[in-house]
Structure 1
Amino acid sequence: MPAHHSTLNAPDGELHRFHFRVILAGIAVLGALALLATRFFYLQVVQHDYYTTRAEDNRISVVPIVPNRGVIVDRAGVVLARNYSAFTLEITPSKVADLEATIDGLGQLIEVLPKDRKRFRKLLEESKSFESLPIRTRLSEEEVARFAANRYLFPGVEVKARLFRQYPLGPIASHAVGYINRINKRDLEMIDESELAANYRGTDHIGKTGIEQKYEFQLHGETGYEQVEIDAGGRAIRSLSRTAPIQGSRLTLTLDVKLQEMAEKAFGDRRGALVAIEPATGGILALVSNPSFDPNLFIDGIRSDDWELLNNSPERPMLNRALNGTYPPGSTFKPFMALAALETGKRTPGQAISDPGFFNFAGHHFRDDKKGGHGTVDMYKSIVHSCDTYYYMLANDMGIDAIARFMGQLGFGQKTGVDIEGESEGVLPSPEWKKRRFRRPEQQKWFAGETISIGIGQGYNSYTPIQLAQATAAIANNGVMFRPHLVKYITDSRTGEKTMIEPEPMRRLAWKPQHVETIRNAMVGVNTQGTGARAFAGAGYTSAGKTGTAQVFSLKGSEYKSSRLKQELRDHALFIAFAPAEAPKIALAVVVENGGFGAQSAAPIARMVFDYYLLGKLPKGAAQEDDVEED
C-alpha cells in the first residue's frame, strides 16, 4: 500500500480546519453577493431617477438655436441693418492638440491670411477655450467642399452656418444705428444682471453702440432649442424635438435716410455734426456726425490695423459729435437770451440801446464784432444783425442766476434723453456749477465779469448739437418740448403688432405767445435780411434761423484773421433754424468744426437740408465768402 494518507483518513484536527475554511469562504462569497445585491438595489431602485436622468443627459444633447436678429429700417422702410447666412470655418481650441500646426494645415486647404490669424488670436485672448472661434468667415462653396473632404485630418475644426449682420449703407447713419460685435466679459456681466443669460446661450454677438445697443433685447429675439440624440462618440444621431427660435423685433426709425445721406454729403470732408428734429413729435430726421465709420468692419472682430486707423485718427471718426461733442453756442444763443429777457421783463421788443462797438465793464472793453458798432439796436435788430453789445448789456442786467434758470428749462446742460447711450451733459454755467467744477476756493468764486461773455454764447457755455436742436425745436413748437428719439415703432416678429414710441412731451413752457412770435419774426429776419440771407436767397419757403461763430481759443484782444491761424484753431461755425417758419416741420442745429463764420460754412448746409426735405431738391448754389455778413 502507498505510504501517503487520503483526506478521509486524515486526523480529525486537519479535517476540522478544512471544514472551517470552506465555511469562511462560503460566508465571504455570500457577503460579497449580499453587498453586490445591496449595491444593485441602491443603484436600480433608490437612485433610479438620478441615474436615468444622467443617462438621458448623456444620450441627449440640448443645442441652442440662435434667433435671427431684428431688422432696422428708416421711416420709409429702407433697410439700415439686416442679416444673411454664410459658412464659417471654426476652431474649438480645447479640442486641438497643436493650434498653430492646425492653422498651418488649414492654410494649405483654404486661404488663411495674416489678418485672419491676428483676429483669431485676439478672439482667443478674449474667449474661453471651449468656445468655437472663427478662423475664416464667408467661405465659398468650393472652400466648404474642400474642407469637408479633409475634415478627418482636423479634429476640433468644423464648418458652421452662421448668421451675419450687414449694414448695407455702410457709413451712412452709422453713429445712429451703431454696430454689433462679439460678446466680451463686460457684456456677459450685463446679461447676467438682466437675468437673460439663458436667452443668450449660443449667441456670439451683441449690440455695442447706437440703436443696436439701446434696443439690444428687442432686437435679439428668443433663443430656440433642439434636443438631439447622440452616440458614445458625441455624434448626433437624430433630432428628438425642436423649439423654434423667435426672430427679434423689427425697428422702424424716425430717420429719413435719404435726408441723412444728403446731409452727410453736404459736410464733405469737414468735421462737424447736424441734428434735425420734427418739432411736433421729437422724432429725429437726421443725425450726422462727420467723419463717420463703416460699422461692417466690427462684425467679425475688427482688424487691429483698421482699429488703429479709426481710434488714433486726429479726425476722431468714432466720436459721436451730435451727442458727445460739446461746443460754445456762440451767437446761436442770442434768440434764447432774447426770449429770456422778454419772459423775465428785462427787455421789451422796442427797447433800444446805442452800440458804440463795445461794452465797458469794470475797465474792461468787451468788443462787438463790428467796428464802430451797430448804432441804435432794438431786439429785432440785435438778432438779425447779431449785435454782441446788446447781449453783453443784457447778460449784465439779467445776472447769471436768471440766465441759468431760464436756459435750464430749455434743456441746456442736461441730457436730452435720446434713445442712444453715452450722451454728454454739456455745461450750463452757474455759480453752483463753478463750485462743483473747481477745487480751490479762489477758482470757485463767480465773478460778475464772467456773466458778460455768457450772454453771447461764449465763456463756460458748452452744449451738444442735439441740445441746440431740441431748444430750437421748442421755439418752433411754441414752448412744447419733446424728448428727441430715433425709434418710431417696434414690430413684433410673431404677431406683427406695432408698438408706437409715443411722442413724449418733456415739458410745456408757459411762454407768452407774443414773446415767442417776437423771437420767431427776428429769426425769419436773419434769413431774409441778416446774417443768413445769402445762404437762403431764393428759397421757395420761409425759414427762421440764427448764425453763430464760436471761439476755439481766446484772442486776448487781437483781431481775428482765420487765414493766419492753423485749421484746428479757427472758430467753429454754427447755425440753428426751422422751416417753414409759419408751420415748422423741421428744426435743426449744425456745427462745422473750425469752419469759421456760421453764415459761410453752417448755414449753406442747413439750406441744402431744408431744400431737400421741403422741396425734394438740392440747392443751386451755396453762399460765397465775399458777400456774406459775418457771424
Structure 2
Amino acid sequence: MNRYVSEDPQEQQAFMRRHFHIRLNLFFFSAFAIFTIIIVRLAIMQFVEGPTLSKEETRMRVREVPMPPVRGSILAAGGEMLAYSTPVQSLYLTLQKSNYDPVSEAGQANLAEARALARELKKAFDTYGDPANEMTEEAILGAMDLQFRYGGGFVPRRIKSELTEKEVAYFLAQKTKFPGLDIIEDSVRHYDPDLVAVQTVGYHKKYRSTYDLEWYKPIRESRDSDPALQYTEDEFVGFDGLEMYYQRELRGKNGYKRVPIDPRNMANGVADIIHPVKGYDLHTTLNKKVQLAAEQAILDQIEWVRKNPVSGKVHPFAQTGYAVAMEVDTGNVIAMASMPDYDTNLWQTGSMDTREFEKIREYYKNGTVTPYSAGYSGHGFESTVYLGSTIKPLSVLIGLNEKLFTTQTKYTDRGAAYFGRNDQARVRNSSNHIYGSIDPGLAIRYSSNAFMVDMVGEKLYNKYRAKGIDIWDDYMKQFGLGTSTGIDLPGEYLGTLEYKDESETALSRLAYASFGQQGKYTAMQLAQYAAALANRGKRMQPRLVQKMTDDSGNTVLELKPRVLNEIKMNEAYWDEVIGGMRTDVSAFDGFPYDFARKTGTSEQAYKDELMENGVFIAFAPREKPKLAVAVVIPEGGFGAHSAAPVARKIFDAYDREYGLAGHPLK
C-alpha cells in the first residue's frame, strides 16, 4: 500500500475518484488540443497553402514538355547569312504505352505493336517521302526511344524531320490511324556554302552530347523550372565558335506542350501547345569579302612556299596558316582565318560520318585562338609558334621604360651576343649580319638579336635578377600575350610561357625571350598586341559581335568598344618603337600607305633540325592607324616572304571595303 494513501476504505475510494477525474480532464484537454491543431492545420492548408497545393496537383496531372525554338541567325557585317535556320515540318510520336521490356509478356506485346507501327511509318515514308531522306525500320525504332533513355513517357519523340508536303498531308489525313503522332514545325541549320570563317562561326550537335562540355554544366545544373528555358536532349545546341559562346542568345525560348498524364506517367488527353520564340540574330564584325580574301591568301601562300625558295630553300612541310585582322580603334575583328577549313554543313544532322570526321579531325577547331585540333604542319607544329622578331618592338619598349637605355643610346652590333658563365652562350643575328652602331629604332628595323640580348634580356636580369622573369611576364600580359584577349569565343588558349620554366637559369630565359624564343602565342593574341602598339598602349577587347536583333529586326543589345587596360609610357618611347617598325618587305611594294610592320622567323626544333615559322604583324596607316593584322605560317620560312604577302592581301581587301584612309576604294 502506498504510504501516502490512507488505509481507510472511504478515503481510498475518495482518492480514486479524484484521480479518475484528473485523468479524465487531462484526456479531454489533450483531445481538445489535438483537435484544435488539426483545425488550424486544415485552415492553413486551405487558405494559405491551398493555391500552391492546387498548382502542385495540376502539375502532377499535367506535364509541360518543351518544344525547341527556331535558332537565331549569324550574319556577316554586310548582312550575309553565315548561319541560319529554315523551318521544316517534323513528325513527333508520343508513346501510348509505358512498358516495352521484352522480358515481360506485356512488354513483348507492346514491342510488337511498336514494330508494326515502325513498319507502317516506313511504308508511308517510302511512298510519300524524299528518297534522299530515307529511314530504315531500325532507325525509326531507335527514334521512338522505347527504353526511355532520353525522355519520360510523356515526352514526344522526333521520328523524322524535313517531311515532304505529301508526307504532311498523309499523316494529317490519317491522324486517327496513328494515335500519338503530331506534325510540328522544326528548323534545320544551314551554313554559308562559301565556307566563311567556319571555325569561328562554329557548328551544332544535339544537347545530349554536351555532358562532357564544361560550357554547358551551368545549364544542366540550373534545372530551370520555366518550361520556356528548359532544354530537351534532342534539341540542337552550339558546339564551338559563336554558336556555343552565344548559345543562350541564339537559342530563344521554348514553346511547350501541356500534356495531361495518367498515373503511369503516360500522355492521357489532348495537349495544349504554346509556340516557341525565335532566338536573337547575331550581327558580326566579320566582313565576308575580307574574310574570303584572307582565307584564299593563306592557301595561295602555303602553295607558294612549298614550291618556291624562301631563305634559299622550299618549305614542303608548310600545311597550315592563321590570320587575324582587327580594327585598331574599335576592336572589331574583320577577318579571322584558320586554314585549312571545312564545310560545317556536314554537322547538319548533329553527327557526322566517321570517315568524314577523320578527314577533318586535325583542323576542325579555330587555330587563331587554340592550338588543339586546329591544324598541324608537316612536322606536327601547332598554330601557336614562337613569335620570333615580332616581339622586338615590345622588347625595346620594356628596355626604354625600365631605363635600361635611352632613345639616344648607341649600341655596337658585332653580329652576336654572349651571356652566361664565361660567356659560353651565344646568340647570332639572322644570316650572321653585323649592323655596327645602331640605336633602339634601328635595332627593331634591322631585327638585331644581339641588341635584344645585350640591352634588354641581360640588363633586365642584372637589374632584377630572377625577379626579372615576373617583370617580363607582367609586360607581356599588359599587351595581351599570355593572358585572355577577351575575344567572344569559347576555349581561348592563353599561350605557352616557356620563360617560366625554372629548369633554365633566369638569365638564359630572359635572353631568349628578348628576341622571341621563349613564348608561343595565338594569332589572336598577336593581333591584339599589334593593335596595342598602334594604340600606343591602349589594349582593346577584340569582338566578333557588334549587335543583336530580335525577330522583328529591333536592336536588343549593342556592344560598344571596350578598353581592357592602358599602358602609360613616355611618348618618345612610342615614337622610337613605331618609327623603328620599318623592316623591308617586298610584298608591300607599291602599297600606298606608310605602315608599321615587323617580320618574324621563329625557330622550332624537330629532332636535331631547326625549322622556321613565318610570323608577321603590321598596322596601317602608321599615323592614325585603322587596321592591325597578324599572320602565322608554321614551317613557312622567313616571315617577310611567307606571312607578309597574306597580310598585304588582307590590307588591300580592307582598303577596298572600308578604306585605310577613311573611305572605301570600291
Count of residues paired in the alignment = 542
Which residue of the other structure, out of 334, 337, 343, is the alignment partner of 1:288? 337
Q: Could you tell me which residue of structure 1 aligns to residue 350 of structure 2? A: 301
What amino acid sits opposite 1:323 in the alignment?
V
Matched, 1:182 2:223: no
Aligned runs of 1:195-234 on 2, under 5 Å? Answer: 196=224, 198=226, 199-201=228-230, 203=232, 204-225=235-256
Q: Could you tell me which residue of structure 2 aligns to residue 347 of structure 1? A: 405
Separation of aligned partners in 2, 1:262 and 1:116: 47
Which residue of the other structure, out of 354, 369, 375, is the alignment partner of 1:323? 369
CA shift for structure 1 position 554: 6.2
What amino acid sits opposite 2:111 in the alignment?
A
Aligned runs of 1:127-526 on 2, under 5 Å? Answer: 127-128=150-151, 130=153, 132-134=156-158, 136-145=160-169, 159-169=183-193, 171-184=195-208, 186=211, 189-194=217-222, 196=224, 198=226, 199-201=228-230, 203=232, 204-225=235-256, 244-268=275-299, 270-305=319-354, 308-310=357-359, 312=361, 316-325=362-371, 326-361=384-419, 362-394=423-455, 395-399=457-461, 400-401=468-469, 402-430=471-499, 433-434=500-501, 443=503, 446-458=505-517, 460-493=518-551, 496-523=554-581, 525-526=582-583
Separation of aligned partners in 1, 2:552 and 2:351: 33
Instruction: Note closer, same or farther for the CA distance 1:281–1:56 as it changes in structure 2 (3 Å cut).
Output: closer
Instruction: Note closer, same or farther for the CA distance 1:119–1:597 as it changes in structure 2 (3 Å cut).
Output: farther
Q: Could you tell me which residue of structure 2 aligns to residue 97 of structure 1? A: 111
CA shift for structure 1 position 205: 2.0
What amino acid sits opposite 1:545 in the alignment?
R
Instruction: Note closer, same or farther for the CA distance 1:116–1:266 as it changes in structure 2 (3 Å cut).
Output: farther
Separation of aligned partners in 1, 2:140 and 2:599: 47
What amino acid sits opposite 2:424 in the alignment?
G
Contact 1:357 1:370 survives alignment (8 Å): no
Contact 1:116 1:135 survives alignment (8 Å): no
Contact 1:85 1:163 survives alignment (8 Å): yes
Separation of aligned partners in 2, 1:388 and 1:52: 79
Matched, 1:615 2:617: no
Separation of aligned partners in 1, 2:577 and 2:191: 42
| Post-superposition CA distance 1:125-183 (Å, at most 9, x none) | 97347455555432332344566677777666665431222223463122222222211
Contact 2:538 2:565 survives alignment (8 Å): yes
Contact 1:230 1:238 survives alignment (8 Å): no
CA shift for structure 1 position 576: 0.5
Separation of aligned partners in 2, 1:176 and 1:595: 23
Instruction: Note closer, same or farther for the CA distance 1:388–1:255 as it changes in structure 2 (3 Å cut).
Output: same
Separation of aligned partners in 2, 1:397 and 1:59: 77
Separation of aligned partners in 2, 1:59 and 1:454: 68
Q: Could you tell me which residue of structure 2 aligns to residue 32 of structure 1? A: none
Separation of aligned partners in 1, 2:522 and 2:140: 36
Instruction: Note closer, same or farther for the CA distance 1:380–1:201 as it changes in structure 2 (3 Å cut).
Output: closer
CA shift for structure 1 position 357: 2.6
| Post-superposition CA distance 1:364-408 (Å, at most 9, x none) | 332221235333333233222222222222322223434333223
Aligned with 1:321: secondary structure? Answer: coil
Separation of aligned partners in 1, 2:141 and 2:387: 46
Q: Could you tell me which residue of structure 1 aligns to residue 381 of structure 2? A: none
CA shift for structure 1 position 84: 0.9
Separation of aligned partners in 1, 2:340 and 2:363: 5
Instruction: Note closer, same or farther for the CA distance 1:224–1:159 as it changes in structure 2 (3 Å cut).
Output: closer
Separation of aligned partners in 1, 2:438 and 2:53: 93
Q: Could you tell me which residue of structure 2 aligns to residue 84 of structure 1? A: 86
CA shift for structure 1 position 279: 1.3
Contact 2:342 2:360 survives alignment (8 Å): no
Q: Could you tell me which residue of structure 2 aligns to residue 591 of structure 1? A: 632
What amino acid sits opposite 1:427 in the alignment?
T
Contact 1:571 1:597 survives alignment (8 Å): yes
Separation of aligned partners in 2, 1:225 and 1:92: 14
| Post-superposition CA distance 1:253-300 (Å, at most 9, x none) | 222222112211211164121111111122211122112233322242
CA shift for structure 1 position 59: 8.9
Q: Which runs of 5 or more structure 1 residues have no equivalent in the other structure?
A: 1-45, 436-442, 561-569, 619-631
Aligned with 1:403: secondary structure? Answer: helix
Aligned with 2:547: secondary structure? Answer: strand
CA shift for structure 1 position 511: 1.4
Contact 2:207 2:231 survives alignment (8 Å): no
More displaced 10-residue stretch of structure 1: 215-224 or 183-192: 183-192
Instruction: Note closer, same or farther for the CA distance 1:49–1:355 as it changes in structure 2 (3 Å cut).
Output: closer
Q: Could you tell me which residue of structure 1 aligns to residue 107 of structure 2? A: none
Instruction: Note closer, same or farther for the CA distance 1:602–1:132 as it changes in structure 2 (3 Å cut).
Output: farther
Aligned Cα root-mean-square deviation (Å):
3.9
Q: Could you tell me which residue of structure 1 aligns to residue 128 of structure 2? A: none
Which residue of the other structure, out of 71, 74, 94, is the alignment partner of 2:73? 71
Q: Could you tell me which residue of structure 1 aligns to residue 596 of structure 2? A: 544
More displaced 10-residue stretch of structure 1: 249-258 or 576-585: 249-258
